Amino acid sequence: MSPDVLLPTAPIVRPDKDRFLNEENPFEAMMSRFDQAADLLDLEPGIYKVLRHPEKQIITSIPVMLDNGDVEVFKGIRVLYNTSRGPAKGGIRFDMNVTLDEVTALAAWMTWKCAVVNIPFGGAKGGVVCDPLKMSVGELERLTRRYTASIIQTLGPDSDVPAPDVNTNERVMAWIMDTYSMHMRHTVTAVVTGKPIEMGGSQGRREATGRGCMIVTKQALAHLGMPVKGTTVAVQGFGNVGSVAAQLLAREGCKIVAISDRTGGVYNAKGIDVDAAIAHVAKHRTLEGFKAGDAITNEQLLVQEVDVLLPGALENVITTKNAAQIRAKVICEGANGPTTAAADSILDDKGIFVIPDILANAGGVTVSYFEWVQDRGGYFWTEKRVNESLTEIMEQSFDAVLSLAKQHKVNMRTAAYMLSISRVATVHRLRGIYA
């Protein structure tokens, strides 16, 4: 057990233990894992109840004037799950599939993710139900600014710090920072992370999530006694996370044999030139038309016989329907929630070593923390310092989770939840309940 964990002193009674689990519901999936870890920790009922509920859920209507003069009203969501350890931290996504359940689950995941790497943030997430690919830059800017104004009461460097997520980027963060700053009547760079370097962004932030995946994959291979050089890797999702992870793993000596995005993918047993694939996507926006091997679907990529599978796209891609066909030795979860809770036991039975999302993709929020620190201090780091500090935190966190997994004879996901929940619970015990 981590030395910063205080053990409970009250007898345990677990409420609501046998509730129905819907495999496709991300919040239920997250909570089923939470319950398993809470049981192993003997988490007392009061704190269990507190940690099962989000602190704040905001649903707002966002009227936007479109370029053709029509007005469309979009739905915006922001969830602050837990802020006991510090300001809420979590990205904002623009996607047609955004739901309150999804955003709440992601906010909870952010809470555990920040705790598992032991940075002083709580968890949040936000989203707007829209199709950004069908909107002009002007429409996206008006949408972003109105959404920011709608949730501005929660935002702030000491309260809620957004970041990019699915279909948002540095430019969207710049709009949020500017909107917030105009309301505050002075420039507030620390209100968001993932900003352009020129506006107080951090060196190494764009590559941080993919770099973190590379670091923990190397740690897993070392633990399993597998050489890095020649290790075969399949990457589902060739966006920022997947492409960077693939590129960095290739530089470490791994052989990237399969990559895919929403348009499909390619497989080449001899290895894929990742730099060429990145250049193709930069020019064409997708992998469609990239001729580097045999065409495969996203579903086919997941079941290729490889050493490492890195799902780096969206949630629920490994389920009870395909988990038994997974043939990788290691899964590094670059995406949030790529494996459903119901599929966990299937992967365990197959002996697959899973690096869970709340650890594997925590590199992004770790460097976001570095950016926040730099903004508040007004002193900026070199990329070398950022990457060295990220490596240190990711390696220490992997070792802490692995140690707990061995101690309690559980898988890495359960151990990661145990470590993060215990850290959050400890702060609640120390702070008490305000009344």
Rounded to an integer, the average pLDDT of 79-94 is 98
Q: How many CB atoms lie within 10 A of CB 62?
A: 22
- What pLDDT, on the 0 to 100 scale, is given for residue 255? 98
CA distance 330 to 237: 17
Percentage above 90 pLDDT, the chain: 89
Catalytic residue list contains 125? yes
| Per-residue pLDDT band at 25 (split at 50, 70, 90) | confident
> What span, in angstroms and rounded, lies between the C-alpha atoms of 61 and 66?
15
Task: Please determine, for residue 18, whether its predicted confidence score (pLDDT) is greater than 50.
Answer: no
Q: Which CATH superfamily is domain 54-191 in?
A: Leucine Dehydrogenase, chain A, domain 1 (3.40.50.10860)
- The model's confidence at residue 155, banded by pLDDT at 50, 70 and 90, is very high
pLDDT value, residue 425: 98
Report how far residue 211's alpha carbon sits from residue 237's, in angstroms, rounded to the nearest whole number. Answer: 15
Q: Which of 17, 49, 56, 125 is catalytic?
A: 125
Show Cβ contacts of residue 342 under 8 Å, excluding neighbours closer than 6 positions: 21, 23, 29, 319, 320
Can you tell me the mean pLDDT for 92-98?
95
Write down the pLDDT at residue 21. 53
The confidence band for 12, taking pLDDT boundaries of 50, 70 and 90, is very low
CA 336 from chain centre, in angstroms, equals 5
In this structure, the strands spanning 232-236 and 308-311 are: parallel
**Residue 404: pLDDT band by 50, 70, 90 thresholds?**
very high
- Convert the pLDDT of each residue in 197-246 to its tens digit: 999 999 999 999 999 999 999 999 999 999 999 999 999 999 989 999 99
Domain range summary for the chain, segments of one domain joined by +: 54-191, 208-360
Instruction: Tell me what pLDDT residue 47 has.
Output: 96
For the cut 80, the answer to whether the pLDDT of residue 6 exceeds it is: no
Which amino acid, 165?
D
Q: What is the reported pLDDT for 7?
A: 37
Closest CA to 163 of 173, 152, 153, 154: 173
Query: Per residue in 55-75, pLDDT tens?
Result: 999 999 999 999 999 999 999
- Residues 308/254, Cβ–Cβ less than 8 Å: yes
DSSP β-ladder status, 88-94 and 160-164:
parallel
What does CATH list as the number for 208-360? 3.40.50.720
Examine domains 54-191 and 208-360 and report if their fold is the same.
Answer: yes
pLDDT at 341 over 60: yes
Six-digit token pair at 272?
């894929």
Residue 8, pLDDT > 50, answer: no
Q: Which of 13-22, 181-190, 316-325 has the lowest mean pLDDT?
A: 13-22
Average pLDDT over all residues of the chain: 93
C-beta contacts of 96-102 below 8 A and 24+ residues apart: 96/129, 96/130, 96/131, 98/127, 98/128, 98/129, 100/57, 100/59, 101/25, 101/26, 101/27, 101/28, 102/26, 102/27, 102/127, 102/315
Q: What is the pLDDT of residue 19?
A: 41
Is 3's pLDDT higher than 50? no
Share of the chain above pLDDT 70, in %: 95
- Chain-centroid distance, C-alpha 127: 14
